[in-house]
Chain A
């Protein structure tokens, strides 16, 4: 560079970018193209980014701690008593984190069963209810017969809930598995738990399920399902027309509808502040217990 020309730092940097790119391009196999220099994205003036309470993430892990948003049934004292009872139950049994789409094994004490216990393995197709009424439905195909069992999370006859495979699916409810090919719901009853390394995010299973030919139990084509692959094959022209007519594209703009279905962030923060301490302690103590158990096993083998 023989000429010393006064240029602003920005210009020099931009120029430097060009030089750097030319150097890289010498190594890459991609043919040269005219590059567009990316501009620095400017911050939108006006709103400050709100401090995001990390405890709010608990609403996905423990959704039943949030009460029903219907204001007719809300009462803060009753919700507190309910949460206290829920925590007491959780101190007796480990209710693990699982989502719709995870494979879960539940053992209950049944007075009419052999050995007085009954174990069922299945994929969780739905999780609903709030508070002590929280329930989940497990589906499996046993001997070519689809079986669904609904369990209450806080039922004191449940001896253990074991998550065999922790994963999420593309949809919130998997009722379409009833009309899907049986291979998507069949899980062996003696399946081994698949342990994920600590700290990994919950994996999302992007599987797209194939449905059996019609008749179906519900009009799956009218529900915007992402986890189904072959709906279009089974539709007639009439169904497509009716689906277009029944669509409600204005719903996504309905803010009040969304608001009425959720608990506001301030109330949620209060709930989680009340509850997360104990939940953390329980989680930590359970991990310690499981570690102690792994240490104990070699001794018995030697003996």
Chain B
């Protein structure tokens, strides 16, 4: 394993697999764990710091949210250190006894892991002391399960998206001194704030379905392999021990969250859907040109098609971060979050990564559950925002003023 891995970068699975999208045949999945281990669409994306967990200067009062003005082509070839996660399942010629034995072993390991008490259950007092507004804490890996409408107390309807936090556990913490992500020659910013790397996994899977190298990452810390992995850059005092379960109560109702996910893969799309061009009229003598781009350049000195000209091409399946999404309701039994709005990238059933907002007006002001919410027995099943009308409450009526 050492020979194949030149850098000590913790292995991150391919982005599309971690999102759990079914791949369209012939369309390669993009962004196989780019530089710094964070999955970028291309090295150019890494430069423009679109990922939430980029290194940001502590001196600037407002965190920079840069936007990409230049369209960058996603790179589909994985880097040299990329290793496959899924194993080729062949017919293993095992006897029935051996198969049963293996199943028993797997069951025992699963029971053992679920019986583990969270390390946080013991420590109580230190929590609220250490949080300050510039602290970075862990995020969560969630799965989109659908949308449905909720109503506010004024009778206005809004659409909400449901995200389920399935079986999140902390896998490993790498302190900032030891953390050496893959460097390229184009480093632009200087790292002034030291952040450690916390690996979080979601959805335990059967170890026999994945490769030995993938399992090795988890075996080294004594955990069963997870289907999805994500890296969260955290402040050193927000570090968590291995095996800490993370729940939906890590966030509170009314908090704002940044959601990073892969958009729906729309395949090869024309210029009207992809870039929002207006096209040409359907009639009035227009010949054979209704959805075409029209002119693609101007004349003059630089009479050529500029690189980055908007043209038809592959749309979707790109990493995007939606900022400042509000949490309206939390169900602690199933670990479900209700988010305001339906613009969260990805299809129903796709994975997304949640972080505390970077937006200055919606950032955390009060100390949140820090470093995370410990597993508590008697939690109320539902938490909801004051503006949300719960269906148990009586019908909304307006009083005469």
The chain A residues found within 8 Å of chain B, CB to CB, are: 72-75, 77-79, 81-82, 85-86, 88-89, 91-93, 109-111, 115-116, 131-133, 152, 154-159
Contacts and interface: CB of A to CB of B under 8 A. Distances in A.
A132 to B, nearest CB: 5
Contacts of B149: 132-133, 152
Interface of B: 145-146, 148-149, 151, 155, 157, 162, 164, 331, 334, 336, 347-349, 389-400
Contacts of B399: 116
Contacts of B157: 152, 155
A102 to B, nearest CB: 22
A281 to B, nearest CB: 16
Contacts of A156: 151, 155, 389, 391, 393, 395-396
Given A81-B334, A156-B395, 12 more contacts: A74-B348, A78-B146, A79-B146, A81-B162, A81-B331, A88-B390, A88-B392, A111-B398, A116-B397, A155-B157, A156-B151, A159-B395
A31 to B, nearest CB: 68
A165 to B, nearest CB: 24
Nearest to B164: A77
A259 B290 CA distance: 36
Nearest to B155: A157
Contact of B347 (A72, A91, A110, A131): A72
The 10 residue pairs across chains A and B that have the minimum distance between CB atoms: A88-B391, A78-B146, A157-B155, A89-B391, A78-B145, A75-B145, A111-B398, A116-B398, A109-B397, A85-B391
20 contacts: A72-B347, A78-B145, A79-B146, A81-B336, A85-B148, A88-B390, A88-B391, A92-B394, A93-B395, A109-B395, A109-B397, A110-B398, A115-B400, A131-B148, A155-B155, A155-B157, A156-B151, A156-B391, A157-B151, A159-B397
Contacts of A132: 148-149
Contacts of A154: 391
A157 B145 contact: no
A82 B146 CA distance: 10
Nearest to A67: B146
Central interface residue in A74, A86, A133, A156, by most chain B CB within 10 Å: A156
A155 B349 CA distance: 27
Nearest to A159: B395
A100 to B, nearest CB: 22
Contacts of B347: 72
A157 B148 contact: no
Given A75-B348, A109-B155, A156-B155, A92 B395 contact: yes
Contact of B148 (A111, A133, A159): A133
Contact of B396 (A73, A77, A109, A131): A109
B37 to A, nearest CB: 31
Contacts of A74: 348
Contact of B348 (A72, A89, A159): A72
B155 A92 contact: no
A77 to B, nearest CB: 6
A88 to B, nearest CB: 4
Contacts of B348: 72-75
Nearest to A111: B398
Contacts of A92: 391-395
Contacts of A82: 148
Contacts of A155: 151, 155, 157
Contacts of A110: 398
Given A72-B347, A111-B398, A159-B397, A77 B145 contact: yes
A284 B397 CA distance: 27
A156 B151 CA distance: 7
Nearest to B389: A156
A157 B394 CA distance: 9
Nearest to A68: B146
Nearest to B334: A77
Nearest to B159: A133
Contacts of B398: 109-111, 116
Most buried by A among B145, B347, B390: B145
A78 B398 CA distance: 31
A88 B382 CA distance: 14
A74 B148 CA distance: 12
B18 to A, nearest CB: 19
B387 to A, nearest CB: 13
B395 to A, nearest CB: 5
Nearest to B143: A75
A196 to B, nearest CB: 27
Contacts of B389: 156
A91 B398 CA distance: 21
A86 B150 CA distance: 11
A115 B394 CA distance: 18
Contacts of B395: 92-93, 109, 156-159
B202 to A, nearest CB: 15
Nearest to B336: A81
B331 to A, nearest CB: 7
A85 B398 CA distance: 23
B155 A78 contact: no
A134 to B, nearest CB: 10
Contacts of B336: 77, 81
A93 B149 CA distance: 18
A111 B156 CA distance: 12
Nearest to A152: B157
Nearest to A115: B400
Nearest to B338: A81
A116 B151 CA distance: 19
B268 to A, nearest CB: 20
A20 B164 CA distance: 74
Contacts of A72: 347-348
A81 B397 CA distance: 25
Given A78-B162, A109-B398, A73 B146 contact: yes
A86 B148 CA distance: 11
A75 B397 contact: no
Nearest to B144: A75
Contacts of B155: 109, 111, 155-157
Contacts of A77: 145, 164, 334, 336
Contacts of B394: 92
A152 to B, nearest CB: 7
